[in-house]
Chain A
Amino acid sequence: MIVADRKSLEEIQEMIKPHRKLLIVGCKGCVTVCNVGGSKEVEILASALTIARKKENNEIEIDTTTIERQCDNEYVSQLKETVGNYDAVLSMACGVGPQFLSEYYREQKFYPAVNTTFFGGAVSHGIWEERCAGCGTCIIHDFDGICPIARCAKSLLHGPCGGSSNGLCEISKETICIWDAIVAKKIEQGRLEDLLKVRPAKDWRTARDGGPRRSIREELTR
């Protein structure tokens, strides 16, 4: 899923400062699963902002709603009756949400309430980790299901580098060296010689480096 973190309340308060009537829109997709922008978090943010403005004696009226997905115009369009009734709209979806909303409702002002961080999953309750960098050419089968693109700080294809020490990456004591993990798994599986293979340079044009990407599925287009 796409993982995000809520922006600080300070930043959000600053964004919405000029507005007196606000709609907060949540998304039932990824941000609900990573507990950042689902209906629960929408209500919490609405309450926190209401309290803050009451305290400043500068009241704000906040309504809330959570749609199925903000990255799908079919659901975005469901806001058409209400979206115009507000000074501005705060989206709690990943960065795709407020963009789809802005494209659909050109007259309205949309703000992102979250910082979109990575593609990953929950490794335990309340802890999410990055697993994929969307490079466009998946090669994890060569590394026994471990992605060196997203999980090695240098995206090395032949690792580890000299910064690997005691299983940790040189960038921080909290980051494991994923190449150490790849080597350990190869040894465990008796396939260490796989890593002797010299790989050609990766073609990064399928990744973000090739510019904004688009996916067309002819059988689905109308």
Chain B
Amino acid sequence: MRLNYPSEVKVIQVPCTGRVDIIHLLNAVEKGADGVYVAGCLEGECHYLTGNIKTRKKVEYVKKILGEIGIEPERVEMYNLSSAQGARFAEIAREMTAKIRELGPSPVRMNDPVSEKKAA
């Protein structure tokens, strides 16, 4: 199956979404990413039982932090899908990209000429 998804999306693979920590998401925003999302397995289908559920809570926490410092919390999201749902993966990528495009560039990047170049 060959599916197109927006080229702006950079995939970082992890063994389980449970490996994704609060600091990883924050670092992405800090370094100028306009948005970050975690694509985890469907709830109840985590190979490590609760990795995806724990990470959803971490994502919520990151949203809270961003809200507190005046950055749109919607720049960080969590999605759940199974590895068999290639079409859904592409759809989520499009959905997230469209949402971020609507929000515009991250205010972090706007003031940072270095990351502006890197993230562009």
Contact = CB atoms under 8 A, between A and B. Distances in A.
Contacts, number: 48
User: What interface size band does chain A fall in?
Assistant: 10 to 19
Interface stretch (A51-59, A79-87, A196-204): A51-59
A55 B107 contact: yes
B9 to A, nearest CB: 21
Interface residues of B, number: 17
A47 B71 CA distance: 13
B7 interface: no
A57 B110 CA distance: 9
A187 interface: no
Contact of B68 (A9, A43, A57): A9
B15 interface: no
Which has the most chain A C-beta neighbours within 10 Å: B21, B70, B112?
B70
B87 interface: no
B23 to A, nearest CB: 5
Contacts of B43: none
A57 B111 contact: yes
Contacts of A55: 69-71, 107-108, 111
A158 B64 CA distance: 44
A73 interface: no
Given A43-B23, A44-B23, A54 B65 contact: no
A211 to B, nearest CB: 38
A50 B111 CA distance: 12
B111 A10 contact: no
